[in-house]
Chain A
Amino acid sequence: MAELLKMCGISKSFPGVKALSNVSLTLNAGEVHALCGENGAGKSTLMKILSGVYQADEGEIFINGEKVTIENTKKAQQLGISIIFQEFNLCPHLSVANNIWLDRQPKKGLFIDDKKLIEQTLAILDDLGLSISPKALVRTLSVAEQQMVEIAKAISFNSRILVLDEPTAALTESEIDRLFNIIHKLKTKGVGMIYISHRLEELARIADRVSVIRDGQYIGTYNYKDVTIDKLVSMMVGRELNNKFPSHRRKIGRVLFEARNIRSNKLNVHNIQVRSGEIVGIAGLMGAGRTELARAIFGADKTYHKEIFIDGKPVNINSTTSAIKNGIGYITEDRKKDGLALNMTVERNINMAYIPSICKKGFVDENAAKENAAKYINNLRIKTPSMYQKMQNLSGGNQQKTVLAKWLCNDVKVLIFDEPTRGIDVGAKYEIYELMNRLSDNGVAIIMISSDLPEILGMSDRILVMHNGMISGELNREDATQEKILRYAAGLSNEEGKGA
């Protein structure tokens, strides 16, 4: 196979940190090359150097054997390099066609030649086997479809080198299948892809080779079939991680939380019980109503009807304030969107749900606030130079721990985790799981929503599966398999799936 790209001995320093030190990477035509490393290992920096956002301090880049300098993103585009980031760069109010050919639309005199524009777009979409209308506005598309549009846009630039940064983070299983089909198509066309993902399980389906970097150091490149996930993980974190999920011996007690007859325009849930010390996983496809259920329990969304019982006593939860008063906490799916105030300090974020307790007659007791923040920074090992650091400067794992701290200080009895480890690296994931186990040891009832099936299977004592706003199945830890969960999630009964 022809070598498309070669990055040799790349080093890059920022004031105070050496982000990359002598890292090398090669990419062949028609190859998927996975790039693995923990958050902060230097993957993004390396990709930003490739795309011309940063300049390397040392090292050389060759494309098709020719030495190049990539001084800006425009140059990268000319060289046929496209990056698809987690956050898309699309204009939501423009059509698919206009997004793909943004600023390059075919012209007829002063005006855009709409007919030709649609033709060109259809050609690319058909080529990729996509059934998206070129005239559809991007904001009406699903996340997966928007991603396809991004890929189509990259193809329209005749890109030969495509970087996919966490492309599956927000996709459902069937959408992931579609994405992988397209990746296979691109491989046959000779496009080389660098693929970044925290979901190591999925690499087996597409990756040809894998490179690992850790703390800015190049660890190695391997043929994918020669390595195991455990080996990869230990290379990424630099130590042996025998178990991805910490072992646990649960002391499951009385029923601490019960919800009955939750009905809204998206939900129809008859009964959920969670015992003290128990972790109940909620699985299901995107749009099955899992987050809606969490928000309904927490009083964040209105419902037609709901009955909530804490410790057997009925409680009235009509606002988030009353939920917190009754000992319920909710760790949201997207911490940046609604879990944290990113431009506020760590201290203010930890204390955000704790304001009533640090106030005396309306005035904040700054010492109490400081003490509380320090206590949880220490206890959860939140890595921050100071409690007055702005939240946005912390890594994903430390941000997630801060969200957790917000609920721990309120002595929660019931804690809902919505996608607790999305977008955080292996090491930090393990820590979050350990914290969940510690909480369960202390008798907290935990509801854990997750799209990550190994996580659901590894952490839950009991699994509820949702489909179309309803609980479509319930499985004990011992009987649960990925297949059974997926059948329930698709709305199928598990009768014929027995024995599978």
Chain B
Amino acid sequence: MIMSGELVTSTKKTRISIMKSKDEALQKFLAFGVLIMLCILFGVLTGGSFLKIDNLLTIALQVTPYAILGFGLTFVLITGGTDLSAGSVIGFGGIVCAKAVTMGVSIPVAIIIGILAGIIAGLINGLFVTKLSVTPFIATLGTQFAFRGLTQLVGQGKPVSIQALGDEKIISVFRFIGGGTVFGRVPFPTIIMIITAIVLGIVLSKTGFGRRLYAVGSNEETARLSGINVIKTKLTAYIICGATASMAGILLAARLASAQSNAGQGYELEGIAAAVIGGTSVMGGEGGILGTVIGAFVMGVLRNGLNLLKVDAFVQMVIIGTIIVIGVWYDTARRKRQSI
């Protein structure tokens, strides 16, 4: 065989420095620094009550659905896309799971059906974006309505209550999934969130799929001409996003032992905000799971701290919105500096 590889001689002499990009580390460090500073600030302002373990665990529980959704959105954002339907998929996954339980399906199977519903929703989004080349913003804006409509249809406009089944055993299992504690006081959903973060973090940083995903997001045509199956890669990203959304939906429904048909409304924007604060670029090609965890906690800590300080809810919205814009502005400015 012809070997162009013969061009290459010994590699032992190579002395290429393997310094990882300092800038990337700085970005993570900065978001983390902001999180720590917020915690200290609120700790001082609330006279220490913010820093009580119980309060911190409450924050962890509150942050969980946003963070899990944010992980899936991180994948989609890295491809340079977006998923505005993710909030609707939360409602859809939750209500499908609850409906299955009320129809007598066993709990593990019902959960799998719920997640499958999210996967199918993600697949539909992905097909619109890849095969039909609809702009992600428009495609998922449309499916946002469609999936919310389907959610309402499944529940016939009403919540699907597991509680109404009257089966104490099933109710207590769901209550545990949605808000139970393990190792003393750690919320079970938070454990799920941490496991999901680890699994998806590994997928993103250690697998061939992860590499392809970044390549597609950085320059789609280059990726395609390098033999990367762009359609498959993007489809997978949307499917992962659908799956995480339905997971978040099942956790929300489980906490109340009832699936609300309007559950998850507006969550997609919270998820995107978490990812972006954590350094994921809406232009694609950059981002990571750890950043999204930090971003979700920045949002959660702000909300909780401002609540403890009895800041008016409307003022809170103004503050959080401002922080998102400042975060993105800083990130854009950093990128600009870099490209000079």
Interface residues of A (CB under 8 A from B): 256, 276, 298, 300, 319-321, 323-325, 330, 332, 337-345, 348, 351-353, 355-356, 358-359, 362-364, 366, 370-371, 373-379, 385-388, 390, 392, 406-409, 411-413, 415, 438-439, 442-444
Contact = CB atoms under 8 A, between A and B. Distances in A.
B225 A300 contact: yes
Contacts of B219: 338, 340-342
A390 B16 contact: no
B222 A338 contact: yes
B207 A363 contact: yes
Contacts of B318: none
Contact of B18 (A352, A375, A386, A406): A386
A324 B4 CA distance: 14
Interface in B183-225: 206-212, 214-215, 218-219, 221-225
Closest 4 pairs (CB-CB, A-B): A341-B218, A338-B221, A324-B227, A353-B226
A387 B17 CA distance: 7
Interface in B1-51: 1-9, 11, 13-14, 16-21
Contacts, number: 140
Given A338-B219, A341-B285, A444-B2, A387 B16 contact: yes
Contacts of B218: 341-344
A374 B229 contact: no
B5 A409 contact: yes
Given A348-B211, A352-B222, A442 B227 contact: no
Interface of B: 1-9, 11, 13-14, 16-21, 206-212, 214-215, 218-219, 221-229, 285-286, 338-339
A426 B187 CA distance: 65
B7 A442 contact: yes
A379 B18 CA distance: 17
A442 B3 CA distance: 7
Contacts of A343: 218, 285-286
Prevailing SS type, chain A contact patch: mixed
A392 B207 contact: no
Given A352-B215, A352-B228, A386-B18, A413 B2 contact: yes
B211 A320 contact: no
A390 B206 contact: no
Contacts of A376: 8
A443 B21 contact: no
Contacts of B17: 385-386
Given A377-B16, A378-B16, A438 B215 contact: no
A389 to B, nearest CB: 8
A464 B17 CA distance: 44
A419 to B, nearest CB: 15
Given A438-B7, A442-B6, A444-B2, A300 B14 contact: no
A330 B225 contact: yes
A128 to B, nearest CB: 34
A256 B16 CA distance: 36
B207 A362 contact: yes
Contact of A355 (B1, B6, B21, B211): B211
A356 B226 CA distance: 11
Contacts of B226: 320, 324, 352-353, 406
Contacts of A392: 339
B4 A411 contact: yes
A449 B59 CA distance: 61
Contacts of B3: 411, 442
Given A325-B227, A388-B21, 14 more contacts: A320-B228, A341-B214, A341-B219, A343-B218, A352-B223, A355-B228, A359-B207, A359-B208, A363-B206, A364-B206, A364-B207, A374-B11, A375-B8, A385-B17
